[in-house]
Structure 1
Amino acid sequence: MKLIIHTVLAATLALASIASGAQGTGPSDPQIAAIVVTANQVDIDAGKLAETRTESKDVKAFAQRMVTDHTGVNKAATDLVKKLNVTPEDNPTSQNIKQGGDQNIAKLKTLSGASFDKAYIDHEVTYHENVIDALDKTLIPSAKNEQLKALLVKVRPAFVAHLCVEETAQCLSIPEATVRSRHFRARSMLRESLAQALDLAERDAFEFGGAQCDRIVASVLAKISGGAS
């Protein structure tokens, strides 16, 4: 377990080095592109390993989601840099992130069962926290191209959503699938409650008078007809 902790710290330091660079000139757009692609690939690789190693259907489902979501982010980033004619530039930060990812994979391969699941999830929580921190403090502020900046802003909520599920499951010691189902059930209950409240409000505001309304309409029409004659 100490080895896993050291690996998490290595990844943390790699991402933290982005922030330290921001005190100077910050990374260039080509360097940001390389950092984004590398950071996503690290999570994709860990997710693919978890898919084949975990014995938990919940961890497997989570790992599959990580692979799908981060593959989508990488495709969007790759398509954009091609469109902009930007070649991702390897740099010390992207190299350190890759090295930390490789070390994490190597250590995870020595684990199995509940130990594997805990190490994988713990690493995911720490990793996502630092990716979000790097996005907010360095990558988004440093991006010069508006389309690249917009992409970083667009993908940020996905990292936050991943972290919310991971952290909740980690704190409560329950499967992530349970967290997602409870979130879904809570949203459904909230929708139903709001729908009922709005329905009652509309009835109070626009209550139909029934026979009284009919009499008013008939009276108005009679006056109009009388005036026309």
Structure 2
Amino acid sequence: MIDIELSAWLGAAYGVVLLLVSYGIDHMARRAQTKVETHRNGGFTYHKSHDAWLCPEDQWLFPRSFDPDNRVMRYRGVPLVCNSCPVKDNCTESDDGREMSRAVDPWPASESARFHRGIACSITVLAFLWPALTTLVVEHWTSQVLTMVTASLIALGSIPLWAFLKRTPADPLGAVVRTADQTAADREAAAAALARLRSSYASDRRTDNAH
């Protein structure tokens, strides 16, 4: 029977537990941010194929500008449409149309997200060191193999957490700031594409409700 010391089992197990804890922290932080963003969007749905938001009243909000400091793309509805909307008072106080925003960088891009990812990565360091240092105190070679293999697996398992810690722009060249003319052209192109696709977005629901 393979003779493995109890301290080796404990070191390996503790390292694995710490790795799971680090992933748990990252998952909970990501889930919390998703809930906050969903609540903040207030029923608006982002359509990546159109790069636009669709409001609950079946109106599109197209890109208006880009905030390079916060790396946020801002979208705005047509003022004439928003000001005549029956639910405007519950949607926005602005007379320039409802504004929505979208972070262009992947998780973890925000400072809060990067803070929690940093905590998770710090725990992975402890998760690796625990079995690695245990290798130095155990006597049997079988125990040393167990702790070294565990430390190696933990190092590999922590790579996904470390991979995106450094903020990297979604577009290496940076996002393009659209002018008013370019935004208008984008709106016309999106409207034409929507007509060609004959999609079943909210405009179809509005027709159904009219019946």
TM range (shorter): 0.3 to 0.5
By percentage of residues, which structure has more strand?
A: 2
Name the larger-Rg structure: 1
Which TM-score applies when normalising by structure 2? 0.33
By percentage of residues, which structure has more helix?
A: 1
